[in-house]
Amino acid sequence: METTRKETAQEPASLLEAVSALRRFKGWLLLSHEQPDGDTLGCASALLVFGQRSGKAVRWAGPDPMPESYAFLPGSDRYETLREISVPRDFLPIFLDTSNPERTLRVEGMPDQFAVNIDHHGDNTRFAAVNFLDSSAGATAELVWEILARLDQPVDKIDAIGLYAGLVTDTGRFGYSCTTPRSHRIAAELLEKGIQPELMDRLLYSNWTPQALRLRGRAFSRLDYEPDRGIALTWLTKADFEETGADFSETEGLASDLLRIRNSTFSAVLIENDTNVRVSLRSRGKTSAAEIAHRHGGGGHPNAAGMRLPLPLEASLATLKAEILKNDD
């Protein structure tokens, strides 16, 4: 841990406040965001097993079910799918990778309830009593590592599994622009805890179902590509999920897959559900994914963002395509 601590010789006050709060409370309530990904789930897994070993009472919850592909995470059997929760005053709500409280379940008593907010999204609304935020971090897992490294017992291999999962998935296997030297240094320290990269890669990326592949086939077959601008769009209907038997969680990474097209700079995947159209945006050009998402009540990073459109699928596609093309001018 020495390398990471040297980097933060002048430690942010919010980091020290977060460490103090986690020490002080006898229980932790770990909150993952909607449509949970590897970062929010990996961070919570690490905190769960670390907290239990430290004698804390720990609960872990989110508004959507955990994707089956993350069931290997330590403590995943403790995850609860809830819409709201009431917590005792001696429990500390910890929001993980969550830019605003609307992205997770409702915690009764918020905003008066003392809480910690750990996140790396630049559009975080700083909604908690303690906000440990760093938009330069490749993943929220980097920030959770900084906290655990300053608590009263060493991080071990079981904790490292979740942190490594969060770090690898949110940096795109260390290929996204958010990857920094710190990302690699923390990864190295996690490897020293006993993480096996080949095993983790297999658990994270070689776990698709046949149904997921069939669903992706439908999305790829509909590719709408503007070669002059490098813009790739596709969509999935409710019928696609029913007919292939795939789960909504099995679309994770699909928008990034579209950026595998040579010279592509922006991608979007539209997914129809009962009430709206969910949109995942990815960018590696001048058009900001977050900027477009913000206009429609969504959020995220400049290179990766999401939103929901309260329109039929066809109208959503036309609206989004026009907006992306306008922004690209």
The DSSP output letter for 99 is S
Buried b (16+ CB within 10 A) or exposed e, 219-241: beeeeeebeebbbbbbbbbeebb
Outline which parts of the chain fall under CATH 3.10.310.30: 210-328
pLDDT at residue 324, rounded to an integer: 84
pLDDT at residue 11, rounded to an integer: 82
pLDDT at residue 7, rounded to an integer: 42
Query: Mapped to the 3 state alphabet, what secondary structure does 220-242 carry?
Result: HHCCEEECCCCEEEEEECHHHHH
pTM score of the predicted model: 0.91
Task: Tell me the three state secondary structure of residue 8.
Answer: coil
Q: Which residues pair with 28 in a beta bridge?
A: 58, 92
Outline which parts of the chain fall under CATH 3.90.1640.10: 2-205
Closest CA to 139 of 40, 281, 25: 40
pLDDT at residue 52, rounded to an integer: 98
- What average pLDDT values come out for the chain (329 residues) when binned by 10 residues? 44 95 98 96 98 98 96 98 95 97 95 96 96 97 98 96 98 93 98 98 95 98 95 97 96 95 96 95 90 92 93 94 77
Q: Which CATH class is domain 210-328?
A: alpha beta
pLDDT at residue 322, rounded to an integer: 87
Report the Cα 296 to chain-centroid distance in Å. 19
Q: What angle do CA 15, 31, 28 make, to 5 degrees?
A: 65
pLDDT at residue 329, rounded to an integer: 62
Q: State how far the Cα of 46 lies from the Cα of 42, in Å rounded to an integer.
A: 6
Q: According to the CATH classification, is domain 2-205 in 3.90.1640.10?
A: yes
